[in-house]
Each structure stands twice: as C-alpha cells, then as structure tokens.
Structure 1
Amino acid sequence: MSITTPTPEPSPEDFARGLAEIERHLAAVAPAPLPEAEALAVRQGGETKRVRRLRAEVAEAHRLADLQDDDLPLTLDTDKVRRRRRAAHEAARLHELAQDPAMRAWQASRMLRLLVAVALIALALALAWSTAGVQTFAADGAPSGSPAWWFAWLVEPFMSLALLVVVGARAYLGTRGAPLNDPKLVRIEWFFLALTLGMNAWPYLPGVADSFSFSRLVLHLLGPAVAVAIVTTLPVILAAFTALDHRAGTPGSGTTYRTNARAPYGADVAAQTARARRLIAAGELPPSPGAGKIRRALGCGMDTARAVRDALADDDTREER
C-alpha cells in the first residue's frame, strides 16, 4: 500500500501569476483594435460618413437626370409671356372693335366735331385779326377817340357776326347730313369776305399808301385770307364726312386683312389636328392628350398645341353626343 503526498493549495500569488499569464496570452493572439471612426461605421452598417455623402450625391444626380428629361416646365408660360399674350389679346380686341360700324361712326362724328370747332375758332381769330385793318379804313383819318374813330371799331365785328351765322349754320347742318348749299347764302359769304379783304388791303395798296410796303400788305391780308380758306374748305370737308360708309367690309375697313391673317393659322391647326388623330390611333398619344404632350409629339408651338387640344376635345364632345 502506497502513501500519496497531498497537493498543496495554490496561494494568492499563484492566482495572480496565472491571471497575468492568461492576459499576456490573450493580448498576443487578439487582433489590433479598430480606429474609432471605423468602429462607429461598423456599428452603423459598414458605411462611413464619406461613403454616405457620396451615395447621396449619386442619388441626387440620378434624380436630376430624370427630371431634366421632362420638358413640361419649358411649355409653361412665364410672367413675361403672359403679359405679352394679354397685350396682344387686348390689341386684337381693340382692332376688332375699331372695325365695328357703330364705333367707326362714333369716331368719325368725334373727329368731325373737332374739325368744325377748330375751323370756327380759326375763322373767328382771322376775322378778329382783320379788325384793326378795317378800323383804319373805316375811320378814314378821324381823330383818335372821336365818335367816328370809335364807330370804326364796330364795322368788322358786326360783319364778322353776320358771316359766322351763315358759316355756323352751314357747318351744323353739314354735320347732320343735310348740307346747306343755297346760292344766296354762298353769295352772302363771299360778299362779306370781299368787303373784309378790300377794307384791309385798300390803305396799303400801291398808289394809295404814302410808302408802299409789300410785307405790310401781306400782313393785313393774312386774316381775310385765312377766313376765305376756311369758308371754302369747310363745306368740302363736311361733304366728305357725310359720304363716309361705316359698314364693315368696305375697302380699307380691315375685314379682308383680318380674314387673310387668320387663314394660315387655321390651316396649320387643322393639319396638326389631323396628325394628332393619327398619333392617337397609333397609340403614340393618349386619347385626351394635354397641350405639352401634343407640343412634344408634333414639334409645334404652344399656341398651336392648345388649339389642337381644344379641337380634339370638341371631337370627343361630339362623339359623346
């Protein structure tokens, strides 16, 4: 029978040495620790901040490329285009209104009243201009301030008033479409004008004036000459306005121009509408395409595309009925 020697119990120092050996072994076989940034990236799914930024840039580029292929923003009207379109529409409406017979008659009536008023004012000023010349003739050397001298100032005004009565009556009746061309009135007009012309010119004629001056003669004839011109031309102007035809379709009214100007546009819309119907039948356009799709498919302008869209909509409405 053999006797075994009991194993001595390990001391605390033995435990410490064993733990130190284990730590050294683990430190020798363990991999090197990761940097803090890489460790954080591993915890977040294996992507670093730089990778995420580049991935976002690539995704943004793909989205921008997809949006740039869409031409719809190019078909929208800008503020400047809308202002121009509104101005063009207003100009077209005004042009159309100007061709209306009632509007043309109203415009002619306004212009006629203005011309008659200016002519009568000019006639009154011309007769007033000749008053001084007539006063010199009528006074015939009377002393200044004498009754004869004062009476001479009244000669031209009462002749002018009589002349203005005749001219005014003829002008008013002419604007009403009833020209007054009685020979007696015409002779009365010319009689007063001849008196005014003669009394203005007499003191300054050669052989009568002490010292003849052509410029003084012309200056004193200016008033009567203007009066003669107005009395002569006013009836002609009134007759021309009375003979105006304000109906639409007369030469120069603009109706022919308006029809011819719209013909090419209408023909283009009809042709483009026919093309759009063929594309719809072939399946290249939807049954009720918008203006943007029509513009891209036909390669036409936006106005034409809208007109084609409206024409197709009218076709659909008629088919539903």
Structure 2
Amino acid sequence: MSVTTPTPEPTPDDVSRGLVALERHLAEQASRPASRPPAIPSETRRVRQLRAEVAEAHALADLQDDDTPLTLDTPKVRKRRKAAHEAARLHALAQDPAMRAWQAARMRRLLVTMALISLTLALAWSTAGVQAFAADDAPAWSPAWIFAWLVEPFLSLALLVVVGARAYTATRNQPITAPALIRIEWLFLALTVGMNAWPYLPLVAEEFSFSRLVLHVLGPIVAVAIVTALPIILAAFTGLDHGPLTGLTYRANTGPQGADIATLTDRARRLIDNGELPAAPSARRIQRTLRCAMDAARAVRDALTEGESR
C-alpha cells in the first residue's frame, strides 16, 4: 500500500518566480520574427492568355445572339439610299411643268447659238471663194483685189440679219413667214453658192476637180442647211406642251383687256393657219399654247367663234 505525499503549497516566492519565467517567455516570443505563410506561385503568361481567351469566349457567347448590329445601315447602304433619294427627287423635279419649260428654253437658246455660230463660220469659209470670184485675176494688193474681200462679209451680214430676225421672232412664237423676206434670204444664199462654185464648175475651170468643187461649196451648203433647218427646229420648240403653268401665266387682280384679246386672237389665227392649232380650239388648248390666263383664253375662243360665224 503506497502512501501519497501531499503536494506542498506554492509559496509567494514560487509564484514570483513563475511570473518572471512567464514574462521572459513572452518577451522571447515577441522578439522572434513572425513566421511568413507559404508563398503562392505567380500566374504564368500562358495561364493569363488562356484566362483572357476564356473570358473573351464568354463575352462573345453573350453578344452573338443580339441581332441589333444587323439592323444598322452600313456606310455603303447609306450612300446608296442617299443617291436613290436624290435621283427620285430629281426625277420628280424633271416632271414639273416649270422645270420642263426652263429646260426647253435653255436647250432652244443653246441650239440657236450653235446654229448662228456655225452659220457665221460657214459664211466665213466661203469668203475666200467669193474673193477669188470677185477679184477676177486682179493683181494682188490692187484696189480690185482688196475690195473683193469685202464682197462676202457684207453679203453675209445681210443674210445674218434676215436669219437672226426670223430666229428671234420664232422663239417668241411669232415666226416671220413673209414670202418677200424668204426670197431675199434664198437670193443671198444662191449668190454665195454661185460665186463659190462658178470658177470650179465643169467647162469653166481649166482642169475640173470634183474635190475642189465640193471644198469650195461646203460653206454655202452648210449655210443653206442651217437656214432651212433653224425655223423648223424653233417651230417644234414653240409647239412643245409643258403642262399647265397656272402659277406663272395668270394675271393677278386684272381681267383681260381689249387690246390683249385682239393681239392674242391674231396670234391664234396665225397658229390655226400654220396648223399648230385646230380650226376650233378649246379654251384650254388656247391657254396652253398662248400661255395666257384662262379668262383671256375664253375671250379668244369666243372671238374666233364670232369671226367664223360672220
């Protein structure tokens, strides 16, 4: 049988020594450096690249089902739509009666200008031929030789006066149809052709050459063609129907005057004689052809009817 020995109670000195030992231990622990956690290895370039590819794939998967970009117009589509819209507006503008009348007037002015320039050049071309005919073997620089150069210019100027007057009046819907003036015009042309062709005709020229004859009559032939064609072209332009131009042709707050009706009636009779108006035109047809107000057109129609009944 064992006997336990009772533990002696600590004395105050033992307690003091224990506290000193505890303080020393805590001081030693505090003076030691703190232990670091184990280092985590950093991501490599391949890991970062793969992580970015995965993130991009998720973003593309979320966005590719959205059709909003497909509904937007590309720059090429917008350019085509703009061009189509502009073409539609230009086409609509071209159908406007005022625009059609402006285009016809512009084209008529251009054609008249070109015709007169061509006529002037054609007459200038024949100047040398007329000079050779008029000089009649006169010595060079003699008075007869010098004055021979003036024959074609004054003849051409007289012809241009007649042609210019007929062209201008035709553009104002009042063509000159006087037979005397037309005969004068053809007389000038015949003189020009004859003086150019005479020295080179068969049995007249010492050595006939068809090419020289054609070369010298080329200018007069062109002049004859222009003088013949120009009144026909202008008459065709005058007869064009551009549609109603009510905003430009009606007079505001004024009725038709007697003098205006008489003038318009005379113009209508001339157009009827030329076949540009029927024998009994309607007021609407008169208004479109004469470019006058509807009240004036009705008055002209009544005047024409009264003139036929007499």
1:240 Cα offset (Å): 0.9
Instruction: Give the match for residue 147 of structure 1.
Output: 143
1:67 Cα offset (Å): 2.0
1:134 Cα offset (Å): 0.9
In structure 2, the residue corresponding to 1:37 is in which secondary structure?
coil
Does 2:212 align with 1:216? yes
Instruction: Give the match for residue 81 of structure 2.
Output: 85
Instruction: Give the match for residue 186 of structure 1.
Output: 182
Instruction: Give the match for residue 40 of structure 2.
Output: 37
In structure 1, the residue corresponding to 2:60 is in which secondary structure?
helix
Q: 1:158 to 1:6 in 2, by over 3 A?
A: closer
In structure 2, the residue corresponding to 1:134 is in which secondary structure?
helix
Measured in 2, the distance between the counterparts of 1:168 and 1:177 equals: 15
For residue 172 of structure 1, the aligned residue among 168, 174, 190 is 168
Letter in 2 for 1:37: I
Letter in 2 for 1:229: A
Runs of 5+ consecutive residues of structure 1 not aligned to the other structure:
8-33, 41-49, 249-321
Q: How does 1:241-252 map to 2 (within 5 A)?
A: 241-247=237-243
Runs of 5+ consecutive residues of structure 2 not aligned to the other structure:
9-36, 245-310
Q: 1:124 to 1:37 in 2, by over 3 A?
A: same
Give deviations 1:217-273, integer Å, cap 9, x for gaps: 11110010000010011011101111111128xxxxxxxxxxxxxxxxxxxxxxxxx
For residue 131 of structure 2, the aligned residue among 104, 111, 135 is 135
Letter in 1 for 2:242: H
Letter in 2 for 1:247: G
Q: 1:166 to 1:62 in 2, by over 3 A?
A: same
Share of identical aligned residues, percent? 76
Measured in 2, the distance between the counterparts of 1:209 and 1:122 equals: 29
Does 2:157 align with 1:161? yes
Measured in 1, the distance between the counterparts of 2:176 and 2:116 equals: 17
Instruction: Give the match for residue 230 of structure 2.
Output: 234
Q: How does 1:235-314 map to 2 (within 5 A)?
A: 235-247=231-243
1:55 Cα offset (Å): 8.0
Letter in 2 for 1:121: I
Measured in 1, the distance between the counterparts of 2:90 and 2:7 equals: 127
The alignment's C-alpha RMSD in Å is 3.1
Letter in 1 for 2:162: V
Q: 1:231 to 1:59 in 2, by over 3 A?
A: same
Letter in 2 for 1:123: L
Does 2:68 align with 1:76? no
Letter in 2 for 1:239: A
Does 2:115 align with 1:119? yes
Q: 1:6 to 1:77 in 2, by over 3 A?
A: closer
Letter in 1 for 2:122: A
Give deviations 1:121-143, integer Å, cap 9, x for gaps: 11011111111111111111222
Measured in 2, the distance between the counterparts of 1:98 and 1:3 equals: 132
Measured in 2, the distance between the counterparts of 1:201 and 1:52 equals: 100
Instruction: Give the match for residue 103 of structure 1.
Output: 99
Instruction: Give the match for residue 254 of structure 1.
Output: none
Normalised TM-score (structure 2): 0.62
1:180 Cα offset (Å): 1.6
Letter in 2 for 1:152: A
Give deviations 1:180-217, integer Å, cap 9, x for gaps: 22211111111100010001111111111111111111
